[in-house]
Structure 1
Amino acid sequence: MKTIRRLIYGEVLASIAFVTAGFLALFFFFDLVDELQYLGKNAAGAISADINTYQIRHALLYVALLIPSHLYELVPISVLIGTIFVMARLAQSSEYTILRTSGLEPWRALRLLLTLGAFFVVLCFAIGDYIAPAADRSAQLLKARYQGRITIGQTGAWLKEKQAYNSYVVNVGALTPDNEMERVRVFEFNNKGLLVSITQAPVARFASDDSWQLENASRTEFSVRQGQASPTAAGRDSAKITINKVRQFRWPTDISAEMVSVAVLKPERMSTLDLFGYIRHLNANGQTAQRYEIEFWKKVFYPLSCLVMVVLALPFAYLHFRSGGIAGYVFGGVMIGISFFLLNNVFGYIGNLQHWQPWLAAAAPGLLYTAISLGAFGWLVLRR
């Protein structure tokens, strides 16, 4: 059995590595071609000969930092294509028939492939939860250093926080490469929903004591004094507006740098723990978290799709191939992998629009392909 395991694992791992390298080379080439338009430009978008302009070495480093994100997306597809290729080739050369006569029954073969699939589940989770988020954040900061700030449009990112007595709505215009915030506005409301103050600052920094340090802030305070009723005239309320200029203003808050990053950067590029913490923050402050909950569950279920892929590839070992017919089955495996990737994204958008349960929207593609793989295994393997 060790000889069979060594043979199958060696062939499958080599094939998966080859397929992954081919896909990554294509992504690297396309990303690099897309970055060529920015060469020689500075943060203002003008062509310059200054040393702080975006150069080819920066483009190469930026594209290289995107590789972990592409690898995370490609692992299940590569597992499917690589395993299909090996199973089909073994069937075509009658090697798998010899293995079957040597005692490799279908359930034992399934256990072998599931063990291999479990390895790729752990690998995919590690890449998507630790390596890819750090690399993608470094890539965004690198690009922002030479091409401008990180932002999500004209209005920036909006966050909300409830504290002991008041609630706050925060607007962050952009993030700088030095992890500083620009164009920060803090709107303070009392427990009746009335606006109490507006604090604006061109630059803000994350302090180490769970607070923000706003530089050159302008604080506008609104106060209402209730008038006292008199025998001759009804009392009237008087409003007062006070504007203060503060060189440094400390605002205590639980909104961390990771939460701002989640609001500004793409949620699918964040780690599972960061998404979970941000979802709890949104729910605690009465904000919708549907989009982030779907991305969280996709992070949970996506690595498990490697198990589905190896089960889907096993029936190819029990097919009968003619000479040269293996290419068609490998092409079919490529189409199946691409369709899974597309459905995984489409179900996320549909679930967000139709307000499906987040776990259902994230798990639907995997459940669908699980049913297909088990059906193929039962029909082609157990019944034939």
Structure 2
Amino acid sequence: MKTVRRLFYRDIVSSVLFVALAFLSLFFFIDFVEELGDVGKGYTLLHAAAYSALQVPGHLYELAPIAVLIGTIYALARLAQSSEYTILRTGGLGPGRALSLLAGLGLMFAMATYVIGDYIAPLSERQATELQARAMGKLRLGRTGAWLKDRASTPDGERSYSVNVGSTGADATLQDIRIFEFDTDGRLVRRIGAASARIGDDDAWQLADAVVTHWSVASASAQPVASEEKLAALSWPSTLSAGVVAAAVLPLSTMSTVELFRYIGHLADNEQAAQQYEIQFWKRALYPFACLVMMALALPFAYLSARAGGISLKVFAGIMLGISFVLLNNMSSHLGLLRNWTPWIVAAAPSALFLLVSLAAFSWLVRYR
């Protein structure tokens, strides 16, 4: 059994690594060509190459199940083509043993995928974002910027805040700050605009070049009276820590599972919609197990006879299955967000569907043919 395990693991691992390297080379080239459009705007070819290289771990995480599927299909189809798998079956390698061998290897791939997706990829994505921000001077956050909410208890009652960050600077400063303060009745009582801000160790925001506008009402029937003051520096106490702000302004791919869980808790405390982050959390938690599903999906190809097509045809079928898995995985996320479906069901549905397909194909080929 050790000899069979060594044969399986050596062929499959080498095939998976070869497929992953081919895909990563292609994606690196595509990213590099796309970044060439920004060269000359404080952005050099070296910056473009470094940014594309930092995107590689994220691509490896996304492509891991597909590489496992195609590499395993190629290795098993090659064994079947040379009749080695037929000899192994004659020697006592039953379907159950073959499935357990692949499950053990699939678990190893799942663990590697989890480490890459939860530790290496978020770190490299964050470095890539910081590199781009340093080269271009700032990181734009879309047309509307990033919005955050906060609450605080004051002598005048509970206050709620809506905070907008327009962009982030290369030195980790927040730029184009707008803070709207509302009273318990939802009336706007103060607006703070600042050119930049830094978050201190006590989570207080140190605002620079601030313009503060107050609205005060003398009586219920009177019109609000506005007053404005300009301050070179202003300290605004807040519960929005640097980690929470980073989660709001940086892409989702830069967040680990733990960071996603903490940010979901912050959104829930402030009664904000967290559906998108919950789906991402469950996808991040369950995605590595897709490697196990792909292993089970690849095993039936070992039982196809040579007359069912050559290795190239089987590899092409594996590529089509991998692409369909990626499409279904992305489509389920968007549908779950639109339909407000349960996040863990949205994240688990594609893998569960492909697992059922693999088990059905395995039963039909092994038991009934």
Tell me whether the two structures share a fold, i.e. TM-score over 0.5.
yes
- 1:264 to partner: Cα distance: 2.6
Q: Check conservation: 2:293, 2:354, Cα contact below 8 A.
A: yes
For 2:187 and 2:38, the matched residues in 1 are separated by: 46
Instruction: For residues 267-324 of structure 1, give each alpha carbon's deviation from its aligned partner in whole angstroms, at most 9, with x where no partner exists.
Output: 2442112222221111211211111211111112211111100000111111111497
- 1:379 to partner: Cα distance: 1.2
Structure 2 residue matching 1:204: 3-state secondary structure:
strand
For 2:17 and 2:318, the matched residues in 1 are separated by: 16
For 1:381 and 1:162, the matched residues in 2 are separated by: 61
Structure 2 residue matching 1:222: 3-state secondary structure:
strand
Structure 1 residue matching 2:271: 3-state secondary structure:
coil
- Aligned match for 2:202, one of 201, 206, 209: 209
For 1:355 and 1:143, the matched residues in 2 are separated by: 34
Matches within 5 A, 1:26-105: 26-42=26-42, 54-105=43-94
Does 1:287 pair with 2:276? no
For 1:172 and 1:19, the matched residues in 2 are separated by: 41
Match of 2:293 in 1: 308
- Write the letter of the residue equivalent to 1:226: S
- Quick check: which one's helix share is greater? 2
- Aligned match for 1:128, one of 112, 117, 137: 117
- Write the letter of the residue equivalent to 1:251: W
Q: Check conservation: 1:282, 1:289, Cα contact below 8 A.
A: yes
Does 1:242 pair with 2:235? no
- Write the letter of the residue equivalent to 1:64: A
For 1:94 and 1:28, the matched residues in 2 are separated by: 37
Matches within 5 A, 1:321-332: 321-322=306-307, 325-332=310-317
Q: Check conservation: 1:214, 1:251, Cα contact below 8 A.
A: yes
- 1:238 to partner: Cα distance: 6.5
For 2:230 and 2:191, the matched residues in 1 are separated by: 12
Does 1:186 pair with 2:188? no
Please tell me the root mean square deviation across aligned C-alpha atoms, in Å.
1.7
- Sequence identity of aligned pairs in percent? 52
For 1:216 and 1:36, the matched residues in 2 are separated by: 36
- 1:163 to partner: Cα distance: 2.3
Compare CA radii of gyration and give the structure with the larger one. 1
Structure 2 residue matching 1:170: 3-state secondary structure:
strand
Q: Check conservation: 2:296, 2:358, Cα contact below 8 A.
A: yes
Match of 2:170 in 1: 177
Q: Check conservation: 1:150, 1:264, Cα contact below 8 A.
A: no
For 1:145 and 1:155, the matched residues in 2 are separated by: 21
- Write the letter of the residue equivalent to 2:209: N
Q: Check conservation: 1:268, 1:295, Cα contact below 8 A.
A: no
- Write the letter of the residue equivalent to 2:80: A
For 1:163 and 1:123, the matched residues in 2 are separated by: 43
For 1:237 and 1:26, the matched residues in 2 are separated by: 66
Structure 1 residue matching 2:108: 3-state secondary structure:
helix
Structure 1 residue matching 2:197: 3-state secondary structure:
strand
Name structure 2 gaps, 5 residues minimum. none
For 2:306 and 2:238, the matched residues in 1 are separated by: 65
- Write the letter of the residue equivalent to 2:312: A
- 1:154 to partner: Cα distance: 2.3
- 1:245 to partner: Cα distance: 2.3
- Aligned match for 1:154, one of 128, 143, 153: 143
Q: Check conservation: 1:92, 1:322, Cα contact below 8 A.
A: no
- Write the letter of the residue equivalent to 2:35: E
- Aligned match for 1:143, one of 117, 124, 132: 132
- 1:36 to partner: Cα distance: 1.8
For 1:237 and 1:354, the matched residues in 2 are separated by: 45
In 2 relative to 1, CA 78–238 (structure 1 residues): closer, same or farther, beyond 3 Å?
closer
- Aligned match for 1:221, one of 214, 224, 228: 214
Does 1:168 pair with 2:164? no
After TM superposition, the score normalised by the length of structure 2 is: 0.94
Match of 1:17 in 2: 17
For 1:217 and 1:41, the matched residues in 2 are separated by: 30
Match of 2:95 in 1: 106
Q: Check conservation: 1:151, 1:264, Cα contact below 8 A.
A: no
Q: Check conservation: 2:168, 2:175, Cα contact below 8 A.
A: yes
Q: Check conservation: 1:290, 1:358, Cα contact below 8 A.
A: yes
- 1:260 to partner: Cα distance: 2.5
Q: Check conservation: 1:344, 1:362, Cα contact below 8 A.
A: yes
- 1:243 to partner: Cα distance: 2.2
- Write the letter of the residue equivalent to 1:381: V
Matches within 5 A, 1:227-266: 237=222, 239-266=224-251
Does 1:117 pair with 2:123? no
Instruction: For residues 217-264 of structure 1, give each alpha carbon's deviation from its aligned partner in whole angstroms, at most 9, with x where no partner exists.
Output: 12222222238xxxxxxxx64744332322222222222333333323
For 2:115 and 2:237, the matched residues in 1 are separated by: 34
- 1:330 to partner: Cα distance: 0.7
Task: Decide which moves more: 348-357 or 33-42.
Answer: 33-42
- Write the letter of the residue equivalent to 1:159: L
For 1:154 and 1:326, the matched residues in 2 are separated by: 49
Q: Check conservation: 2:203, 2:242, Cα contact below 8 A.
A: no
Match of 1:8 in 2: 8
May I ask how many residue pairs the two structures share in their alignment? 365
For 1:198 and 1:221, the matched residues in 2 are separated by: 7
Structure 1 residue matching 2:138: 3-state secondary structure:
coil
- 1:206 to partner: Cα distance: 1.6
